[in-house]
Each structure stands twice: as C-alpha cells, then as structure tokens.
Amino acid sequence: MGITAADVKKLRETSGAGMMDCKKALTETGGDFDAAVDFLRKKGLSAASKKAGRVAAEGIVVATTEGNTGVVLEVNAETDFVSKNDKFVAFANNIASLIIKENPADVEALKALDFDGELNVDQALSQLIATIGENMSIRRFARTEAETVASYVHAGGKIGVLVGFDGDVDAALARGVAMHVAAANPRFIARDDVDADTAAREKAVLSERAIASGKPAAIVEKIVTGQMNRFFSEVCLLEQDFVMDTDQKVGKALGEARVVSMDRFQLGEGIEKKEEDFAAEVAAQIQDS
C-alpha cells in the first residue's frame, strides 16, 4: 500500500509527531493508520524514558478557578522556550481543568486519570515529551473549594496563587489578596497558623541577640515581644500591609471574611538546576533529537 503525503499529514496532525517519524510509522505498519498511531505512542514512551534523567526546572505555573473551586498547578520542562509552546500550555491548562473536575488525591492519582478517551494523563505526557523533545513532569498541584476562590498568575506563569475565602468577598478584593500573596509571599495565613517550632526558634534567636546587647532581663522580654510581633507581621498574610492599600493590613481589608486556604507556587523553587551554557544546551538537544 502506497503512503501518500495526505496520510503523513493526517498522522502528523493526530499525533503531533514529526513528519519523518510519521512517514516511518506508516511504512512500518503497512499504511495502517491506527497501527501507526500505536507505533508512535510506543516510540514516544521510549523517547520519554531517555529524557527522564534531565533536570526539568522551567515550565509553567497555572492557576485557575471554576465556580467555587480552584487549582494551582506546576508542570515542568527543561527550557523556558517550552513554556511558550502552544501544545505545552494547552496540556497544562487541560490538566488543571481535569484536576478541578476529578479531584485526584495526588500527582500519581492524577497521572492515572483518563485524558482524552484513549490515553491517560501519564501516557499523554509521554507523547508530549516525544513530540517536543524535552523532559517534562507534572510536579505538584493544590486544589481548593470555598465560598469564594481567587487565582492569580504572575509573569506569564512564573508564580501562581490560589486563595480560598469564607464570607462575602468582593471579586476585586479577592483577586487583590491573591496578587498580594504573589508579591509578599507570606508563609502563614494567621498568627495561630505559625507552628510552635518556628515561633520558638525565632524567639530563641531574638532572645540571644537581646541578651548579648547587655540589656536587663525585664527589658529583654519587652524587646523580644516587640520583635516577635514584627516577625508575625512579616510572615502572616493577615498582618501584612496590604500591597493594594498600604494604609491597612490585609486582615482589616477583608473585614469579616476569612481566608481558609492559601497556596503559592513559584516555578522551579526547590529544584536544583544544572548549570549549562546555551550553546551546550542546544547541542545536547540536537544530539538527542
């Protein structure tokens, strides 16, 4: 059976694989379209495994809401170029929508979910890796449900924020708080959320510093109390100066409303990146393609 340009074009559009790979797949399977699709999927899984050892610290953070449910998701790739790839961005957005709908328990459960009726999420990711030619990973996500949910994405997907509120919160105010979280990076929502070990460690450091200054014990206690209050105002969302109105704290701006969840993902945080110059990076991709 002859392989036509139209056959190759159709397979390329369906699979997202390269032209030569599509032609080879059709040739190897005698022009059987479905078998050629399977051939490419198998090849994609093989290609993905070869790339699995590469550090993927770039990519995109997606934050979105549907009704009273929201999700923030980080999907990583090797280079910043991929974060602007339409297929990669569409994949990340589709995964975010799937998380909102299906509420998987964790990333492993997410990978097992049906993606398009034929592939599960993990298989779809492997196919995308084969198509684009970089290692990729679904690193983490957070999902929340609340009376009001606000999301915010900064710098084209470098930072994503999701905040859940109980109580009547104006949409503009809710988004403003999400923007504040992106800018100020609070570690806790409120003072009561600061764990005992963190508070004790901070108090110990401040106490030693005050004692070393030679102040009397009674004065040391007052100094430490004041400095702990300053510490809480720096790390707790509700006690921070609101970036949208620095004359008031975030908690005061919210009035009776309550923040019940706060998630802030910064792209690649905590991933040890391999230092590699641009020329070497391009050469490595050419070699593996």
| Residue 45 banded pLDDT, cuts 50, 70, 90 | very low
Q: Based on the fold, state whether residues 93 and 121 are members of the same structural domain.
A: yes
Overall pTM > 0.85:
no
The answer on 73 and 148 residing in a single domain is: yes
In a domain, 25, yes or no: yes
- Which one, of 144, 163, 154, 145, lies nearest residue 262 by Cα? 163
Lowest-confidence pick of 8-17, 54-63, 126-135, 263-272: 8-17
Residue that is last in its domain, among 15, 32, 51: 51
Nearest to 257 by CA among 144, 170, 191, 152: 170
* Cβ atoms < 10 Å from Cβ of 256: 8
Question: Is 137 found in the same domain as 94?
Answer: yes
33 versus 233: the higher-pLDDT residue is: 233
Mean pLDDT value across residues 173-190:
98
Domain assignment present for residue 266? The answer is: no
**Residue 15: inside a domain, yes or no?**
yes
Do 23 and 111 belong together in one domain? no
Q: Are residues 151 and 115 in the same domain?
A: yes
| Domain identity same for 103 and 88 | yes
Q: Classify residue 64: in a domain, yes or no.
A: yes
Q: Are 81 and 60 in contact (CB under 8 A)?
A: no
214-234 burial, b at 16+ Cβ within 10 Å, e below that, comes to eeeeeebeebbeebbeebbee
Contact 124, 113 (CB under 8 A): no
Strands 258-266 and 148-154: unpaired
Within a domain: 204: no
| Shared domain check, 155 and 282 | yes
Q: Per residue in 114-168, pLDDT tens?
A: 999 989 999 999 999 988 989 899 999 999 999 999 999 999 999 999 999 998 8
Residue 146: which residues within 8 A CB-CB, separation 6 or more? Answer: 68, 164, 165, 166, 260, 261
**Domain identity same for 155 and 19:** no
Instruction: Give the angle 256-258-260 at the CA atoms, nearest 5°.
Output: 170
Q: Are 89 and 140 within one domain?
A: yes
DSSP code of residue 192: G
Which domain CATH number covers 120? 3.30.479.20
Of 36, 51, 66, the position where a domain reaches its end is 51
Residue 117 within a domain: yes
Same domain, 43 and 109: no
Closest CA to 17 of 133, 125, 131: 131
CATH code, domain carrying 37: 1.10.8.10
Same-domain pairing of 29 and 110: no
pLDDT of 195 over the 50 cut: yes
Q: Are residues 37 and 68 in the same domain?
A: no
Residue with tokens 């110059």: 277
141-151: b (≥16 Cβ within 10 Å) or e:
bbbbebebbbb
* Within-domain flag for 172: no
Q: Is residue 108 part of a domain?
A: yes
* 110 or 273, higher pLDDT: 110
At 157, give phi and psi (nearest 5°): 105, 15
- Structural domain that includes position 65: 58-160+273-288
Round to whole Å and give the CA distance between 99 and 70: 9
Percent of the chain with pLDDT over 90: 66
Counted domains in the chain:
2
